[in-house]
Structure 1
């Protein structure tokens, strides 16, 4: 977006003693886009966020906002001078201030009437104008998190960084709160980072995803591109269920649909139930999980496959069914687990 700069980490590393927690990571956060940083606990996600925020110094590399240098080994602009909004799992609201005053807290340079107006506008955008006078202890967890996000955005930050912001919320409210909050973040038109360990959350909420492991960013792209074209086994596993199957354990009728390889990485949706399917299976296990039916199927080769199905009728364990292969969900990938 015109006038708004990207936030970039260029070859950044952070070392504690002899442990390299962030290892030569490069990532660009683009204006108007939410980028999810996805990885398991200990991958280095939160440390990279703290480096971008200026909460920790770099061991090497650079962080820039547009052409402006924020961090290097020699230079460290303090976090309070970066004007970057931060949202964490704990809401960090002031207990003695009501919602409107919590949102207006970062607007101290403005007139009191202007602070109130801006704070109320942001509360309204996050569906909380009717709770403006409520104190934090009177708000639900989801309401507190929306107040926290309104406070961060009201200050007009140059970027916003969110570290697992919805993980502490009740599951019944999480979806609605997340959508309202992230719509507000996206509408601000600034670079945004969402740290997550939840692949489905990252796929649903982000414009782009960067997969991180052992301090390194393995691959970064749109959710669709990463899911359909993972570059490595670790990237594919980070985005959803996957199993490795040797070629000789595939049903013989399927082998011609795939390029020659010793082993394939197969997603559950690669196996589609069909009365006209080329291969026969025995249902080992069948379990409905709301929308989807999760299946374990034993092939004529003796291999057990994971599969998913939809519909009103759940296959019965012990029955014979037929299935066809969607080769788009079977990958040949290098193992990068080192």
Structure 2
């Protein structure tokens, strides 16, 4: 047996030290009058990790961010930084003492200060030379070292966003909080800036808790996503987990457009106009929602002869750049005569069949989900 093996097997050998989360919110409840904005939320962010709170307006995600920052007094639960409680249980550390950087939705730059002045504003107590040196360091990090003397009104939206991030990173915070940071940018600039910001955050090593209602943005930025509805987290996990295995129809629909078909389970399956879909263990007789992503609808040219797959008729097709969106109508036959179903199919590349074209339609089981119908859509 080696020395290392003997050491590890010794009864007094030290176990590996568990690193606490950079930010942990536990049992958080918060109300505004009679409105329960946050209802029993637990979320943690590891050092260097980006976690995104994703949900519709009014679901409580910004309230959680404000509670983490100390901008709202905690009513119930606990907020901890690096394992040390900063709010809850009689503790309420002031925002400026928490070591947290916050980037607001509107950036909140001071118009009377130049870029350097904005960036070093929060470095109170630092020697003057160290303040400037740190300002130069973070401006180089965000690619704006040559704009130190400019004023906010002289900057583009993307540059203002990066100045706000530099200001948040300047004090070397343990945690950075981002509140809808890209909502004011146009689509093309948003794509570029969020790519830059992700690289900056990862290189800084700070933990990041971000709020957004944009699922694509969340999937791009986050290591983990917590989907919220009505003040609660309904599912959290990696972007792949949430996209490929959503907990309910609400979560599935939040990650992009879906086709929704109502049905009933009979014989461990749901019979629809696009074929029979396995019910994944849901009891017979249950009313269900069948959710099919547009990219899970497969379309093929209808060859001569009999087809076992359902057939649909193209209503219209639109080229969206990397994909084509095809609108289809499925019509029932035999016992289902008179029924119809409208579907959207997203096909890679250029696929523009003429209206009225008959096509064979099938669905990808990996992109098809069945949920009890009583879950909000």
Band the TM-score falls in, shorter-chain normalisation: over 0.9
Report deviation, 1:6. Answer: 2.2
Cα distance between partner residues in 2 of 1:4 and 1:135: 40
Equivalent position SS for 1:156: coil
- 2:38 maps to 22
Looking at both structures, which has the greater relative contact order when contacts are Cα pairs under 8 Å and sequence separation is at least 6? 1
The structure-2 alpha-carbon separation of the partners of 1:217 and 1:258, relative to structure 1 and needing over 3 Å to count, comes to closer
Equivalent position SS for 1:333: strand
CA deviation profile, 1:181-230 (whole Å, cap 9, x unmatched): 22111222222011001111111121111001110011110000001101
TM-score, normalized by length of structure 2?
A: 0.83
- 1:146 maps to 162
- 1:236 maps to 252
Contact 1:164 1:195 in 2 (8 A): yes
Equivalent position SS for 2:59: coil
Equivalent position SS for 2:227: strand
The structure-2 alpha-carbon separation of the partners of 1:132 and 1:52, relative to structure 1 and needing over 3 Å to count, comes to same
Equivalent position SS for 2:315: strand
Structure 2 residues without counterparts, runs of 5 or longer: 1-16, 264-269, 333-339
Give the 5 Å matches for 1:42-53: 42-53=58-69
CA deviation profile, 1:148-194 (whole Å, cap 9, x unmatched): 10111111011011100110113331111111122111222222011
Contact 1:38 1:211 in 2 (8 A): yes
- 1:284 maps to 315
- 1:201 maps to 217
Give the 5 Å matches for 1:185-334: 185-245=201-261, 246=263, 247-251=270-274, 254-255=275-276, 263=288, 264-275=290-301, 278-301=309-332, 302-334=340-372
Cα distance between partner residues in 2 of 1:230 and 1:57: 33
Cα distance between partner residues in 1 of 2:77 and 2:249: 27
The structure-2 alpha-carbon separation of the partners of 1:174 and 1:322, relative to structure 1 and needing over 3 Å to count, comes to same
Report deviation, 1:108. Answer: 3.0
Moved more, 49-58 or 234-243: 234-243
Report deviation, 1:90. Answer: 1.1
Q: CA RMSD in A?
A: 2.2
Report deviation, 1:61. Answer: 1.2
Equivalent position SS for 1:115: helix
Report deviation, 1:59. Answer: 2.1
TM-score, normalized by length of structure 1?
A: 0.92
Q: Size of the alignment, in residue pairs?
A: 336
Cα distance between partner residues in 2 of 1:168 and 1:24: 31
Cα distance between partner residues in 1 of 2:169 and 2:157: 19
The higher radius of gyration belongs to: 2
Which of the numbers 2, 18, 22 marks the counterpart of 1:6?
22
Contact 1:57 1:73 in 2 (8 A): no
- 1:36 maps to 52
Contact 1:9 1:26 in 2 (8 A): yes
Contact 2:319 2:350 in 1 (8 A): no
Cα distance between partner residues in 1 of 2:139 and 2:102: 17
Structure 1 residues without counterparts, runs of 5 or longer: none
Contact 1:58 1:73 in 2 (8 A): no
Contact 2:110 2:152 in 1 (8 A): yes
Cα distance between partner residues in 2 of 1:33 and 1:187: 11
Report deviation, 1:250. Answer: 2.8
Equivalent position SS for 2:173: coil
Contact 1:275 1:323 in 2 (8 A): no
Report deviation, 1:268. Answer: 1.0
Report deviation, 1:2. Answer: 9.0
Matched, 1:110 2:126: yes
Cα distance between partner residues in 2 of 1:8 and 1:146: 26
